[in-house]
């Protein structure tokens, strides 16, 4: 019985890792005051990060994506971010 209490299902660990990675991304962007971070959404699965949403300029998008690449645990970054046109 004790052994079954210490075992965890793999999907539980993946979910926890994904949540931890999302926290690292948000904290990294917040600490660097990256413009538009509040308008972007992350979908994360096993180190693959899909970034979607809108950013105000091409430069903001470039900076945002560059910061995301530098966060520990990001294996693959998929860019679905749209630049706002005025």
Class of domain 9-83: alpha beta
Task: Give per-residue pLDDT as tens, 59-80.
Answer: 999 999 999 999 999 999 999 9
pLDDT tens sequence across 1-32? 344 344 444 454 568 999 999 999 999 999 99
Question: Structure pTM?
Answer: 0.78
Among positive and negative, which fits the CA dihedral 66, 68, 72, 75? negative
Alpha helices in the chain (DSSP H): 2-6, 10-31, 58-69
Residue 10 dihedral angles phi and psi, to the nearest 5°: -55, -40
């Amino acid at each position: 019985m004790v052994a079954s209490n210490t075992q965890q299902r793999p999907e539980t660990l993946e979910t926890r890792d994904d949540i931890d990675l999302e926290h690292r991304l948000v904290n990294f962007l917040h600490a660097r005051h990256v413009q538009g971070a509040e308008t972007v959404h992350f979908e994360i699965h096993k180190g693959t990060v899909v970034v979607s949403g809108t950013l105000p300029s091409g430069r903001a998008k470039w900076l945002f994506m560059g910061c995301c690449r530098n966060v520990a645990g990001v294996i693959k970054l998929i860019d679905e971010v749209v630049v706002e046109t005025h």
